[in-house]
Amino acid sequence: AQSVTQLGSHVSVSEGALVLLRCNYSSSVPPYLFWYVQYPNQGLQLLLKYTSAATLVKGINGFEAEFKKSETSFHLTKPSAHMSDAAEYFCAVIPKQGGKLIFGQGTELSVKP
Amino acid sequence: EPEVTQTPSHQVTQMGQEVILRCVPISNHLYFYWYRQILGQKVEFLVSFYNNEISEKSEIFDDQFSVERPDGSNFTLKIRSTKLEDSAMYFCASSAVSGGYEQFFGPGTRLTVL
């Protein structure tokens, strides 16, 4: 069965510092991987997606993620954190088109001034 | 830009009452989904719907839940007899038939069962 593990339920960084949010997946078939962001009291917004094209995926707001099959990872990074990046981030996988999204537990990102 | 909409944004109900949560998916999408997020927990899949029938459902989606596409634009989730543990944020999502696998989410309905 497919699953997603996000290491670290809370991550705190200083403004301007590197953001690294970790995601590992288990999948018996080539996965389709996503990062979603949820700002307080809002819905889920897609940050970026991997659908078997380039392994380094660029998303909105300066975020990017690299698909590493050998490590079964899809970590999210941003070179320089901004206060507005404070939110909950969810990694998710879909096994097939039209199938359900399977979410990780989420990582809450705090950005200190 | 097209978006998924949901109404109401917040619903308060008494335990045992029926509630209907409404969603308008993106117009050219054909896959529809409901997810829920209990406060402080991860987002959980409830049900997916394609070609006017349920294509997949989770164990959460028991006989108290039903979904319907009553017309060409709305997609509804009904909970027949609400329980305290149904209190959660409910998200509707939709995706296109082809390309990207991306699911677009609505802003959610916060359901509070008293």
Cβ atoms of A86 and A18 within 8 Å: the answer is no
Are A46 and B44 in contact (CB < 8 Å)?
Answer: no
- pLDDT above 70 covers a percentage of chain A that reads 96
Backbone phi and psi for residue B86, each to the nearest 5 degrees, phi listed first: -80, -10
Read off the pLDDT of residues A27-80 as tens digits, 9 standing for 90 and up: 766 778 999 999 987 889 999 998 877 889 999 999 999 999 889 999 999 999
Question: What does the pLDDT look like over B22-58, one tens digit per residue?
Answer: 999 999 898 999 999 998 888 999 999 998 999 999 9
Average pLDDT rounded to a whole number, residues A6-15: 95
The length of chain B in residues reads: 114
Distance CA A85, CA A15 (A): 9
Q: What percent of chain B has pLDDT over 90?
A: 79
Per-residue model confidence (pLDDT) at position A94 = 87
Q: Is A36 close to B106, i.e. CB distance below 8 A?
A: no
A100 touching B, CB under 8 A? yes
For residue A90, give how far its alpha carbon lies from the nearest alpha carbon of chain B (Å): 8
CA–CA distances in Å: residue A79 to residues B40, B60, B62: 28, 39, 44
Phi, psi of A62 (to 5 degrees): 85, 5
pLDDT of A53 reads 73
Q: Could you tell me the two tokens for A109?
A: 């990102």
Q: What residues of B are in the A interface, CB distance below 8 Å? A: 31, 33, 35, 41-45, 48, 50, 55-56, 58, 91, 93, 95, 97-98, 100-108
Average pLDDT over residues A78-103: 91
